[in-house]
Structures are given as C-alpha cells and as structure tokens.
Amino acid sequence: MANDGQIVFEVTADGRRAVSDIRDITRTIQQETRQWDAAAQQSTENMGNSFSSMLKKVAAGFSIAKIGKSLLDLGKDAIECASDLQEVQNVVDVTFGDNAGKIEAWAKKAGTQFGLTETQAKRFTSTLGAMMKSSGMAGDEILEMSTDLAGLAADMASFYNLDFEEAFSKIRSGISGQTMPLKELGIDMSVATLNAFALQQGLTKTFDQMTQGEQTILRYQYLMSA
C-alpha cells in the first residue's frame, strides 16, 4: 500500500505466480460458496449479500489475472517487434550496402515526417530498393527513389484514406508494371500514358525501346509527378 492511501498491485510474469493466483481464486470461490450455502439456510437477504460478496471477490481475482495476461502479451509483442526490425535491417544492409546508414537515418525520421514506424520505413525502402536493384539500377539512384516512394506511399495513405500497407502495395505494384492497383485510385500507369509522359520529358525512346531500368525510372518519375 502506498503512503497516499492508494493500493498498488505488483503483477509479475512468473509462471509459478500465475498458478498461485489461479489457486487463490479457486479457494475464494470455494470459501464463498460454503458461506453462500450457509446463508441459504438463514434468509433470502443474507443469501443475496453472500452471493454479491462472492462475485466481487472472484471478479477482482480475474481482473488481476487479466492484467497479468495483458502484460505478458505486451512483452511478447515487444520481442516480436524487435525481431522483425532486426530481420528488416538485414535486408536493408544487403540491398543498400554502403548506403544502409542513410536508410537508417531516414527511417528514424519517418515517424515524425510520415507517421511510419521505423520497421515500416525500412521494409518499404528495402523492398523497393531490391526491386530496382534487380532491374539493373544501383547506388544513390536506388537510395533516393526508394525513400521518395516510401514517403509517397505514406502521403497517398493519408490522401486516399488508406492504411500504409495498402498504399505501399499499390506503389510497389505500379513500379513493377502492374496497372490495376493504382488505376483504382485514378492513376493511369498504362504504356500509352507513360509514352505520352516520356515525350513531355523530352525523351526520344518509346517505353518498349527502354531497358528495364529505364522503364522503372520512367514509372517512378510519372508517379512522383502524378
């Protein structure tokens, strides 16, 4: 009990303590049930009072048990989040190499700037970076485009009232050449549209004449302008 009159319960994640708590609750039920049976032999009013007392004590016991479970769940979630972040960091290191530190710095600011968690920011950028790397791109080009598109996904989520995962999925689909996910938002990524955009940018190649890397850059430029 604290000095200011407040009662403080300490709940631990010890399995033996949990078993002990359950046993205490069971004993409470048994004791109160015996009192209730005795009261039944006296009067209806006494029986009601005893039953009410039993419910309050049992409810208190289960509330403490529930709090303990919540704390255990919270600890489990924290461990899983730390594990997820480490796994994503490994992908960042492999994808960006010497630029991994820049992704680290960007991801730590992404919460304030875009509302993304550090794990989301790293996962979005590393996924996009890996896609661009496979198309033949490298270096600072991948870094800039990945962070720009991850930020765009967050902005798109806010503008279209989507969750971050759905918005990112649409961006990823558009960059990889799938047109339908973004078309649902009114963004046309068809070859005809990209050819028209290329002409506006002063490019002489048609989309079909471009390398895979050039097509990816054109999609990126169009998305950022659209």
- State yes or no: pLDDT of 46 exceeds 90: no
- State yes or no: pLDDT of 17 exceeds 80: no
Tokens standing for residue 90: 């490994």
Average pLDDT, whole number, for the chain?
77
Q: Which is higher by pLDDT, 27 or 181?
A: 181
Cβ-count burial 53-64 (b if 16+ within 10 Å, e if not): ebeeeeeebeee
Mean pLDDT computed over 146-173? 95
SS3 89: helix
Residues 64 and 80: their CA atoms lie apart, in Å, by: 25
Tokens standing for residue 95: 């994808």
Q: What is the pLDDT of residues 100-138, one digit of tens each?
A: 999 999 999 999 999 999 999 999 999 999 999 988 888
Residues 118 and 180: their CA atoms lie apart, in Å, by: 29
Q: Return the closest-CA partner of residue 175 out of 142, 220, 130.
A: 220
The Cβ-side half-sphere exposure at 141, using a 13 Å CA radius, reads 14
Q: What is the pLDDT of residues 194-224, one digit of tens each?
A: 999 999 999 999 999 999 999 999 999 999 9
pLDDT of residue 91: 85
Mean pLDDT computed over 177-193? 95
> Cβ distance 218 to 207 under 8 Å?
yes
Lowest mean pLDDT among 26-35, 70-79, 136-145: 70-79
**Structure pTM?**
0.62
